Structure 1
Amino acid sequence: MLVLSRKKDESIMIGDQIEIKILGIEGEQIKIGIVAPKTVKVHRSEVFEAIQVQNKEALASSSNFLEQLKRK
């Protein structure tokens, strides 16, 4: 893991297309902005994890559905 320190109005570049901007610091919260191509999906980690769980459940449902179709 790379750990960097930034102040308000500073940024971090990831590759040549993704920029993380520090917009503000309020108490224990840091507001960041992410500039990235529309083809790059950006999610909060808890949303990303929920999407992964839903995808796994959908895959399991699809497998079960296909098995049921084979039996008929």
Structure 2
Amino acid sequence: MLILSRKEGEAIVIGKDIKVTVTEVKDGQVRLGIDAPKEVDIFRKELYDAIQQENRMAAAPNITELKEIIGRVKK
């Protein structure tokens, strides 16, 4: 993990076309502005984790449903 110190108004560049700027530091919180192409998805980490969990659950086989389908096919 790369750790950088930036002051308000300073930025970092990721790759060729993503820029992250510190817009405000106040009461222990940092506000960031992110300039990136529209095709780049940007999520808060907790939301990204929730999406990944939902995807895993949706992709997991439902054994009860599979047994029911197999039973129908065998008839």
- State the TM-score, normalized to the length of structure 1: 0.87
What 5-or-longer segments of structure 1 have no aligned partner? none
Match of 1:59 in 2: 59
Which residue of the partner structure matches residue 23 of structure 2?
23
Determine the structure 2 residue equivalent to 1:41.
41
**CA-CA distance at 1:27 after TM superposition:** 1.5
* 1:8 counterpart residue number: 8
**Aligned residues, how many?**
70
Q: TM-score under structure 2 normalisation?
A: 0.84
Max radius of gyration: which structure?
2
**What's the % identity of the aligned pairs?**
39
Gaps of 5+ in 2: none
